[in-house]
Structure 1
Amino acid sequence: MTTGFVPPPYPYERLGELKAIGNRLEGGAIDLSVGTPCDPAPPAVIAALAAPGRVEGYPPSIGTPALRATAAGWISRRLGATVDADAEVAACVGTKEFVASAPQYLKLRTPDRDTVLYPAISYPTYEMGAILAGCRAVPYLRLDEIGDADAARALCLWVNSPGNPTGEMSDLAEAARWGRDRDVPVISDECYAEFSYSQPATTILRGGTAGVLALHSLSKRDNFAGARIGFYAGDAELVHYLREVRKHAGLMPPGPVQHAATVALADDEHVEAQRERYWRRMQRLCQVLAAVGLPAKMPDGAFYLWLEAPDGDAWEASRMLAAQTGIVASPGELYGSVSAGYLRVAAVAPDDRIELAARRVGLA
């Protein structure tokens, strides 16, 4: 019998052992492995979900005019770039589905190319999107390491800044130039853009929209992960192509969610409060980690601590961390083979749970 594609285990489902270790402690495990928000979404956003007249008809796949206009205004106000709301912005059903599906659509658009370039230390869906499209998934550590042969075959180049899992801020202008020089679309995943600490929030769109897309999510910004809503903006020809093919695929964010997203993107105050909340939690987690011999530095962006495991054994370090504090971390191999000696801790538990971990290691 011919054997086709066999999906690998979903990365975070490999962490059952660590959760079991943490659950042996009184009060149970403190799961900081997945970057899922734990704080409430703004009340006005939740109220908007129940607004009448939003569920009877099919919502526009590309996003309502109000959502696209508000998204364009947010890009200008918060990130300092200009996009045309009518021609250069469209909605998506959460950005993970966009990351996973974009390569197959780009392959249909450019069938003579078959390669997806993505950061070697990164969110695993960049690689999986290439695999699901039947494409070559080629990781890179630096742009200048990408060979001419791979660039010539590239459907797209992914960048992620601030980056998951490292919190690193990338040179987005350099990435845009690299892509334009080689006629390779650059897709910049900017879902953590407003959680930037070492420099102001920015976007690849500051240098113009030609040849680039910026991908944005309300999951992190607005604690709205369960609603599954995001948007992409940039090159008008590429946005138009993706809009049309995604219509045929039936990809449309629900009407109430689009309305609520419009409300969320119009407000910045709750984002500033969340940004400070994550910063404070990461500072406390650094103290907890130091107490068990796992020193960590504060990141340039996002809400993850990325730290080196003693002796390079991230799984053993994660077991020790779970046993002593109850914290469930993500071993670095989930984000690429070159990061197997690291682990990621996400600041995504309420303050009382983080304080529980602190008490377990003797911190007042």
Structure 2
Amino acid sequence: MGFTPPPYPYDRLAELRRSADAHDGGCVDLSVGTPTDPPAAVVVRALAESGAERGYPPSVGTPAYRDAAAGWLRRRLGVDLDPAHLAACVGTKELVAGVPHWLRLRSPDRDTVLYPEVSYPTYEMGALLAGARAVPVRVDERFRLDLSSVDPADAARALCLWVNTPGNPAGGLDDLGAVAAWGRAQGVPVFSDECYVEFTWDGPPRTILEHGLDGVVAVHSLSKRSNLAGARAGFYAGDPELVGYLAELRKHAGFMVPGPVQAAAVAAWDDDRHVDEQRDRYRRRLELFAGILAAVSIDVPLPAGGFYLWAPAPSGDAWGLARRLATEGGALVSPGDFYGAAGAGHVRVAVVQPEERLRLVGRRLGCG
């Protein structure tokens, strides 16, 4: 019969959205991590005034794009990387979804993608779209990878291991040095999705590239950091052979960040002030909404990183909690099974809405 795509997770929320929309003031959408705050003016100006819309942009990124991204890595994460070991991608979701397919071309004797059992759905979907085996890796009580649980037979067949720090949805922080060492010992490339790194709350921001480039690739995005999800701009960096292979393949397939977006990205990577302001917004919102949930007897810890609250549902009924928040509070949240069967007892709350909208939910719930 061939492959039949499953329902897109967020399309399953249509009924709950109708319930939330029925409130005066409408739905407060906390289901998807879509930024609602404006990007920096300097970034919008660069997007509008680049004059780069006429020609084909370099697939790997312009020299200015790669230099700006490398400069950001050096400034914010303490990693001095040759820009030649870094390349642009069209956001990062397309890269996450495409990597298994491209790695199967590189290593046709392997057929397995390892990824955290509670995680961003595209790690699993990328494997399925490539006709590969999607094998979840157990996580511990702090939602960190338990690599001791990986079956050696699965490691021997692995095209790659995905790690996500800070993690979506639960905000966990993995030991990236240990993950890199495991990958090298097993001969498994490690892809580290670090798109929430600027929103690390427990300790300093971290990257797998701190632990050497051999066998690892870090993936970064402007979507969350700079409120540019609609522009689709990111990069991948690390192991020269892996990055070079992917860059050459992607040239042939025509993956290109549009020229004006590349110009805007240079401005975004070069400016840290707007990111610091966004960090403050998300921290305030996390604390505010955790307090609102606590007032209705839903106790949720603040995450170690990211801008999601990972809330345990009473009696483990995540859809019941999502329905209650929609019908009583007019808030749309995501049941945890969107992020793997092991997440089914939680809901994810993306604190992307302004504080006044979050307080509106609190008033509807009778606690604000």
- Tell me the SS of whatever aligns to 2:49: coil
Residues in 1 aligned to 2:51 and 2:26: alpha-carbon distance in whole angstroms: 43
- Tell me the SS of whatever aligns to 1:227: coil
Higher mean alpha-carbon deviation, 137-146 vs 14-23, is at 14-23
Q: Which runs of 4+ in 1 moved over 2 A?
A: 361-364
**Do 1:124 and 1:336's aligned partners in 2 also have CA atoms closer than 8 Å?**
yes
Residues in 1 aligned to 2:293 and 2:284: alpha-carbon distance in whole angstroms: 14
Is residue 97 of structure 2 the alignment partner of residue 100 of structure 1? yes
Render the CA deviation track for 1:166-222: whole Å, top value 9, x for unaligned.
011111111100000111100000000010001101100001111000000000000
Q: What corresponds to 2:197 in structure 1?
A: 193
Residues in 2 aligned to 1:79 and 1:323: alpha-carbon distance in whole angstroms: 43
Residues in 1 aligned to 2:200 and 2:5: alpha-carbon distance in whole angstroms: 34
TM-score, normalised to structure 2, is 0.97
Higher mean alpha-carbon deviation, 180-189 vs 15-24, is at 15-24
**Do 1:115 and 1:150's aligned partners in 2 also have CA atoms closer than 8 Å?**
yes
Q: What corresponds to 1:243 in structure 2?
A: 247
Q: What corresponds to 2:65 in structure 1?
A: 67
Is residue 48 of structure 2 the alignment partner of residue 50 of structure 1? yes
Q: Percent identity?
A: 59
Q: In structure 2, what residue type is equivalent to 1:109? A: R
Q: In structure 2, what residue type is equivalent to 1:24? A: A
**Do 1:82 and 1:205's aligned partners in 2 also have CA atoms closer than 8 Å?**
no
Residues in 2 aligned to 1:66 and 1:52: alpha-carbon distance in whole angstroms: 13
Contiguous gaps of at least 5 residues in structure 2: 139-145
Residues in 2 aligned to 1:143 and 1:171: alpha-carbon distance in whole angstroms: 11
Q: In structure 2, what residue type is equivalent to 1:205? A: L
Is residue 250 of structure 2 the alignment partner of residue 253 of structure 1? no
Q: What corresponds to 2:106 in structure 1?
A: 109
Equivalent residue runs for 1:195-210 within 5 Å? 195-210=199-214
Render the CA deviation track for 1:144-164: whole Å, top value 9, x for unaligned.
100110000000000000000
Per-residue deviation, 1:289: 1.0
Is residue 74 of structure 2 the alignment partner of residue 76 of structure 1? yes
**Do 2:218 and 2:238's aligned partners in 1 also have CA atoms closer than 8 Å?**
yes
Q: What corresponds to 1:172 in structure 2?
A: 176
Q: What corresponds to 2:127 in structure 1?
A: 130
Q: What corresponds to 2:26 in structure 1?
A: 28
**Do 1:292 and 1:321's aligned partners in 2 also have CA atoms closer than 8 Å?**
no
Q: What corresponds to 2:328 in structure 1?
A: 324
Contiguous gaps of at least 5 residues in structure 1: none
Name the Cα RMSD after superposition.
Answer: 0.8
Q: What corresponds to 1:298 in structure 2?
A: 302
Q: In structure 2, what residue type is equivalent to 1:140? A: V
Per-residue deviation, 1:291: 2.2
Residues in 1 aligned to 2:91 and 2:207: alpha-carbon distance in whole angstroms: 19
Residues in 1 aligned to 2:53 and 2:325: alpha-carbon distance in whole angstroms: 46
**Do 2:200 and 2:305's aligned partners in 1 also have CA atoms closer than 8 Å?**
yes
Residues in 2 aligned to 1:344 and 1:281: alpha-carbon distance in whole angstroms: 14
Is residue 140 of structure 2 the alignment partner of residue 140 of structure 1? no
Per-residue deviation, 1:362: 3.3
Q: In structure 1, what residue type is equivalent to 2:57? A: P
**Do 1:160 and 1:188's aligned partners in 2 also have CA atoms closer than 8 Å?**
yes
Higher mean alpha-carbon deviation, 176-185 vs 24-33, is at 24-33
Residues in 2 aligned to 1:169 and 1:246: alpha-carbon distance in whole angstroms: 30
Is residue 116 of structure 2 the alignment partner of residue 119 of structure 1? yes
Is residue 305 of structure 2 the alignment partner of residue 311 of structure 1? no
Q: What corresponds to 1:270 in structure 2?
A: 274
Q: What corresponds to 2:225 in structure 1?
A: 221
User: For 2:13, which of 15, 32, 35 is the aligned residue?
Assistant: 15
- Tell me the SS of whatever aligns to 1:216: strand
Q: In structure 2, what residue type is equivalent to 1:358? A: G
Q: In structure 2, what residue type is equivalent to 1:207? A: H
TM-score, normalised to structure 1, is 0.98
Per-residue deviation, 1:52: 4.0
Render the CA deviation track for 1:245-302: whole Å, top value 9, x for unaligned.
0011110000000010011000111101100100101111112112222111111000
**Do 2:296 and 2:367's aligned partners in 1 also have CA atoms closer than 8 Å?**
no
Q: What corresponds to 1:85 in structure 2?
A: 83
Per-residue deviation, 1:227: 0.2
